[in-house]
């Protein structure tokens, strides 16, 4: 189905989740947090004792991932894991399993199913390059490592997790390297994507820019 899609890809902690969520709310669109699917797969693997390099075992599990998204909450096997999936260790595990092509393939249908009426805002690493190449507006949202570490630090402390800036900068740098250099669906701006650097920008400013870009794209397409 050709319901409009806005893709917002970018490195970890660039603020794309917050911006994508706000844009979706403003437009009354659905919202896909594709990173949550990789995090859920990692969390489920950890709980079931499946090794993070067992590609076939992980893919088999991901194909039938018992997950549910309800009003900003994420459920795994019926349990509310909204906070558990945000833990830094699960993010790191997610980025390790995300390099495995069979795991990525296993999650494709689940992601495409989010494209429904009246439209979708999808955030991740390969939304514009692989999953929704026909998106009406593609955005590559980024920020400096320091700005991203600072945002992630505040997020974690707010949720009651402990955090260290030094460890976060190291984690983010390693995850950027894994995400951008992997062979399967590496993180990079999609062709035609608008590059938005939010290092010195408020969330409101970023949201306005994306909404303007979308309004222009709609105008151009009609």
- The contact set with ligand C5P (CB under 6 A) reads 12, 34-35, 38-39, 91, 94-95, 98, 124-126, 175, 179
Among 159, 104, 119, 95, CA closest to 30: 119
The nearer residue to ligand C5P, 131 or 136, going by C-beta atoms, is: 131
The nearer residue to ligand C5P, 38 or 114, going by C-beta atoms, is: 38
Least distance in angstroms from the C-beta of 164 to ligand C5P? 18
Residue 5: strand pairing partners = 120
Least distance in angstroms from the C-beta of 157 to ligand C5P? 17
Least distance in angstroms from the C-beta of 86 to ligand C5P? 8
The nearer residue to ligand C5P, 136 or 152, going by C-beta atoms, is: 152
Least distance in angstroms from the C-beta of 9 to ligand C5P? 7
The nearer residue to ligand C5P, 61 or 98, going by C-beta atoms, is: 98
Least distance in angstroms from the C-beta of 39 to ligand C5P? 5
Q: At what angle do helices 165-181 and 145-158 cross, to 10 degrees?
A: 120
Select the residue whose beta carbon is closest to ligand C5P and give its number: 35
The nearer residue to ligand C5P, 20 or 209, going by C-beta atoms, is: 20
Q: Give Cβ neighbours of residue 124 (< 8 Å, ≥ 6 apart).
A: 7, 9, 32, 33, 34, 35, 131
């Amino acid at each position: 189905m050709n319901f409009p899609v806005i893709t917002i890809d970018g490195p970890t902690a660039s603020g794309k989740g917050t911006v994508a969520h706000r844009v979706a709310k403003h437009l009354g669109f659905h919202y896909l947090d594709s990173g949550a699917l990789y995090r859920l797969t990692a969390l489920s693997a950890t709980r079931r004792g499946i090794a993070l390099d067992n590609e076939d075992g992980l893919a088999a599990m991901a194909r039938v991932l018992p997950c549910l998204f309800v009003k900003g909450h994420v459920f795994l096997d019926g349990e509310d894991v909204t906070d558990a999936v945000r833990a830094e260790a699960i993010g790191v595990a997610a980025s390790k399993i995300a390099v495995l092509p069979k795991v990525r393939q296993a999650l494709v249908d689940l992601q495409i199913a989010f494209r429904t009426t009246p439209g979708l805002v999808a955030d991740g690493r390969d939304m514009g390059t692989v999953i929704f190449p026909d998106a009406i507006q593609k955005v590559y949202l980024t920020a400096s490592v320091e700005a991203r570490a600072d945002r992630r630090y505040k997020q974690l402390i707010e949720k009651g997790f402990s955090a260290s800036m030094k460890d976060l900068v190291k984690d983010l740098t390693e995850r950027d390297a894994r995400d951008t250099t992997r062979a399967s669906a590496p993180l990079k701006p999609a062709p035609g994507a608008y590059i938005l650097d939010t290092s010195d920008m408020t969330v409101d400013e970023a949201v306005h820019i994306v909404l303007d870009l979308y309004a222009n794209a709609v105008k151009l397409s009609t």
